[in-house]
Structures are given as structure tokens and as C-alpha cells.
Structure 1
Amino acid sequence: MIRTDHPTLQRVRATGRLSVKHSDGRTRIDRLFQEGAAKIRFPAPESPAIEAVLINTAGGLTGGDTVDWTINAATGTRLTLTTQACEKVYRTAGGHAEISVSLKAGADARIAWLPQETILFDRSALRRRLDVDLAQGASILLLEATIFGRAAMGEHVETAMFSDRWRVRVEGSLVHAEDFRIGPDIAMQLAGPAMAGGGRAVATLLMIGDAAERMLEPARAIIGEHGGASHWRIGPSGKLLARLVATDGYALRARLIPLVGLLNGQAGLPKIWTS
């Protein structure tokens, strides 16, 4: 059984905040704050669009660790966010690891939140929260991918706790909400046909913007029988939601690479994904 008490141990505290602004036809860094295990690096800090790489220098998380990212993209900016590597969540000795992400985009801004996969180990516990606040005319692409043990490494997750909470608002109005919870009997639940049918890797992508509707059929062609995608109108814009299930992380990324490349338009894949 996973312990939920908190022994007195040194814990990871990672806080990163980034604001970008539009100036002279480019997206530029406005404010940057990093504390604890959080680091933010920029392959090209001043360009028409910025790609920011978020780093947890602790190399992984366990119970009681916290990571907090706050991102603000001002009017007219273009920003892609990814992570240096997959985030690993190890066996907990007590409590949950917690990851909180807050994204805000001004009018005509575009954010792509494209972290690499989160890997859960046996007897791990993770709470993840994503809050998004968009101005009218802003667009966003969100991705979260989770692997329940790496098949190539012989890892198998029998028991763990995982919850994922998303709230997305446009001009203060809620346009997308979901709460996903699984555990403690992870292996049994993933084996169910209504969950993952034995798959060990899952991903959710959400796109909000004017291009969402015309991306639906190309996205479905890439996903095939490994998930599904749907589209809704939300005022003058659109919402595309896609879910993928795969046998392992390798098979999942084989679908994610072309799908992210399609949905992220001219920005394409984060450079670190292919380096």
C-alpha cells in the first residue's frame, strides 16, 4: 500500500516563472524567475517565436516534491514550452509529488505546452494540475503524455496513484475541464477495455484556436485506431481534443511526433524532441 503520511526528509522545491512580450516584430523575454530545482533555458532567446526548455535539476520527483511553472505570454507573442527530458516520478515514501502549471495568453498570442512524457514508477504518487487563461483571439496547444513503466527497461507498475486536473478558460469562461484519476490498482485498471485495453502509455492533446476544425480529419488519420479526436465550436474559435493509447512509450511517441508536428503549425516539433 502507498503511504500517505509525510516523513521529514529533504524535498524538491522548484519554481519557475516566465513572461514574454512582443517587441520590434519579435517575441522577447520580459521577466524570468527560477528558484530551487527549476531552470529555464532558451535555444534562441530572441526570435519571431521563443522556445523555452524547462528543467528539473533534481532529476525526478517523489512524494512531497513540488514543481510549479507560471507562464505569461503577452499580446501577439509566440511561445513553445517543452522539457529537457521525461519527468520521472519514483516510488514514494510518503505523500504525493505535485506538478502545477499555470499558462496565460493575451490576445493573438499563441502558446504550445509540449513537455516530454511523464514516467510513473511502481508505488509512485503524483498530482498534476494545469490551469489556462486565454484572452479572446489567443490560441493554445496542450499536451500531457504519461507512461506507466518503461517496457524496454522491464519496468511494471502494479500499484500507484495518479491524478490529472485541467481547467481552461477563455475570457474567464470555462471551455474545458477534466479530472483524470487512476490507482491504486494501476495494472488492473489499465487492462480494462474502457481504460487502456492493456496499453501502458497514454496522451491527451487539446488545441484551442481558429485552426482547430480543419485539423480534425488530418489528426484522425494520424491517430488511426490508437485513440480518437473530436471538435467543438466555442464562440468564434474551436476546440480539438485528441486522446492516444499505446502499448509503450516508443509506440506512443511514433504517433505523437507527426501529430504534434501537424497541430503546432510552422513552429513544428520542439528542437529538443529530435536532438
Structure 2
Amino acid sequence: MYAAAIPEPMQRSRGEASVALAQGATGLRIVGLRQQGSAKCILPYGAHGRGGSPEIVFLNTSGGLTGGDQLAYSVDLGPGVEATATTQTAERVYRSSAGAARVKVTAEVGAGGWLDWLPQETILFDDSRLDRRTVIDLAPGAGCLMLESLVLGRAAMGERVSRIAMRDIREIRQAGRPLMLEPLQLTAAALQAGAAGLGGARAIASIAMVGRGAADLLEPVRRALDEPGVMAAASAPEGRLMLRMLAVDGWPMRRQIARCLAVLRRGAPLPRVWQM
């Protein structure tokens, strides 16, 4: 008799990428760059975001996430540095057979600096599991614009999501004081909860803006909330600007996000890697 074969453990992806920028005697400099595993970070030459600031593009070369995968992105901006950080494409979270995929995003913005964190959407497939935490630490006088968007399956492919386990925590702090703490938990029950849950929406998004002039953009951004198939609202509590969106599909939500970002970024173009 032959001994029963022992199954090999499935390979899991690990990735970590970080970049640090600072002002030097001759201008903006890269003072730190680290890439490991499936995570990469590029600063495409000639790509500029708000006010001519540099763009940072993160990418996951594993092609997506599943249970047990780990991914970490980090940005460190020195005093007075302004930058836009994004992802090269939508992140896909596939069916998991063992545990959750874990993603950690951290950013530190020095005094007087500014970060636009504008990742492309996360696409969640049926039976996917994701545990993600995003934390932006602002020094006094610094500000940020944070976007997170989720799409439940690809409508054009006829995909439906009925089972899911996602925990997503987003936090913005300034000088150690919490300014925003937004936990989101998606389960099968939430998907089936009707108006008390997602109300049948297949895509959701949240945009937060903290810093100089944020509250002044409330009325202009409200006038931009006019995309058919998207239900959206904006508010400005205590000098912050908050937007929430529910959409029937990812494409109308993406168009609505683009119009809102044009207002919030005062006409600056979307990151070059975004395809619209």
C-alpha cells in the first residue's frame, strides 16, 4: 500500500512597499524606498497630481488577494510635501478557503503637507474575506483627501455576491488626536438587509477631506452629485468634508467619484493610471 499523499500548503502572497519624500536643498527628494514580495511602488516620471505634486503608484503583482495573503503600503511625506498616492488598478479579492486577506495602509504627512490617497476600487467576489485598515497621521497644519470604494462583483460579467466577510477600518488622526474613525463590516446578513443595509447597491464609496478649505467645498461638491444610478450625500462636520455614495454598479459610481474629485482637487486631473 502507498501512504496517502499529504497536501502541500497553498502558497500565499506577501507584499510590502513604502516610499518617503522630503524637501531638500535642490527640491523634492526620495529619501526612502522599499519594495518586498508582491508589492511595488513607482513614481512615474512626468506624472503630477494636485498643483504639480508628484504621483505615487502602488501595485500588487500577485494579481489579487485571497485568504492568508498580506499586503502593506506606506507613505511618509516630510514637512511641506504634497503628493498623490494611488493604485495601478482595481484590487481584486477572490474567494477564500482559509482565513482573510489582510491589507494595511499607513501614511504620515508632515507639517504643512498634503496627501491625496486615491486608490482605485476594490472588487469583492463571492465568498471573499478581507481585513483592511487604513490610517493617515497628520502633523499640525497638514491635510488629506481619502477615498475608498468597493464594488460587489462585476455586473458586466453577471457576477453576484451573496456571501462575504469584510472588515474595513479607516482612520485619520492629527497630532495624535482622532479626527475620523470609520469602521465598516460587510457580511451576508448586511447584503440581505434591504434598506437597513446596502439596499441592493452593488457599489459603495466614502470620501473624506480634512484640512484647509475643506468645508468651503461643501456646496460646490453637492452640486456635482448628479450621476444617474448613484445615491450620494455630503456634509461638513467640524471643518471636515464627508461624502457617501451607493450605486447600482461600479461604473456610474466611478463617474460620480471623478466629478467629485475634480471639485475637491480644484480641477487637478485624475491620477494618470485611472482609466475613464
TM-score, with length taken from structure 2: 0.90
Find the aligned partners of 2:61 and 2:183 in 1 and give their Cα distance.
28
Is it true that 1:69 corresponds to 2:64 in the alignment? no
Q: 1:106 aligns with which of 100, 110, 120?
A: 110
Kindly report the root-mean-square deviation, in angstroms, between the aligned alpha carbons of the 2 structures.
Answer: 1.8
SS in 2 for 1:15: strand
Local SS of the residue matching 1:226:
strand
* SS at structure 1 position matched to 2:258: helix
User: Is the 8 Å Cα contact of residues 228 and 242 (structure 1) preserved in structure 2?
Assistant: yes
Using the TM superposition, give the Cα deviation of residue 195 of structure 1 relative to its aligned residue in structure 2, in angstroms.
2.7
Equivalent in 135, 140, 146 of residue 136 of structure 1: 140
**1:184 corresponds to:** 188
Q: Give the aligned partner of residue 10 of structure 1.
A: 11
- Identify which range, 39-48 or 152-161, moves more after superposition: 39-48
Aligned length: 263
- Contact residue 159 and residue 186 of structure 1 kept, 8 A: no
| Letter aligned with residue 76 of structure 2 | N
Residue 200, structure 1, aligned to residue 202, structure 2:
yes
The 1-side partners of 2:27 and 2:262 are apart by 22
| Residue 57 (structure 1) aligns with | 61
Following TM superposition, by how much is the alpha carbon of 1:264 offset from its aligned partner in structure 2, in angstroms? 2.1
Q: CA deviation at 1:28?
A: 2.8
Matched letter for residue 169 of structure 2: R
Which residue matches 1:262? Answer: 263
Q: For residues 41 and 163 of structure 1, what CA distance do their matches in structure 2 show?
A: 28
**Cα distance between partner residues in 1 of 2:54 and 2:28:** 6
Conserved 8 A contact 1:27-1:78: no
Give the stretch that moved more between structures: 264-273 or 135-144. Answer: 264-273
2:232 to 227, 232, 240: 227
Structure with higher Rg: it is: 2
Kindly provide the amino acid, as one letter, of the partner of residue 222 in structure 1: A
1:112/1:142 contact within 8 Å kept: yes
Change (3 A) 1:181 1:110: same
Give distance in 2, aligned partners of 1:19 and 1:172.
20
Q: Deviations over 1:197-230 (max 9, x none)?
A: 2110000001001111111111112224712111
**TM-score (ref. length: structure 1):** 0.90
Moved more, 100-109 or 26-35: 26-35
Which residue, 117, 142, 149 being the options, matches 2:121?
A: 117
Q: Which residue of 2 aligns with 1:41?
A: 42
Q: Secondary structure at the match of 1:259?
A: helix
- Distance change >3 Å, CA 136–CA 173, structure 1 → 2: same
1-structure distance, mates of 2:47, 2:133: 29
Name the counterpart of 2:3: none
Cα distance, 1:250–1:29 mapped onto 2, change above 3 Å: same
Residue deviations 1:153-186, cap 9 Å, x none? Answer: 1110010111111221111111111211010345
Paired position in structure 1 for 2:155? 151
Give the CA deviation at 1:268.
Answer: 3.1
Is the CA contact (8 Å cut-off) linking 1:160 and 1:186 kept in structure 2?
no
- Give the Å deviation of 1:266: 5.3
2:220 counterpart residue number: 218
- Give the counterpart letter for 1:66 in structure 2: Q
Structure 1: gaps (5+ residues): 1-6
Task: Mark the CA change 1:155 to 1:46 in structure 2 (over 3 Å): closer, same or farther.
Answer: closer
Conservation of the 8 A alpha-carbon contact between 1:201 and 1:249? yes
- 1:198 to 1:137, Cα distance in 2 relative to 1, 3 A: same
Amino acid at match of 2:220: P
C-alpha deviation, 1:273, in angstroms: 1.1
Q: 2:267 & 2:225 partners in 1: Cα distance?
A: 20
| C-alpha distance in structure 1 between counterparts of 2:131 and 2:121, whole Å | 15
List per-residue Cα deviations over 1:4-60 (Å, max 9, x = no partner).
Answer: xxx932101010111001235743322100000011111227975110110100000
Counterpart residue type for residue 186 of structure 2: I
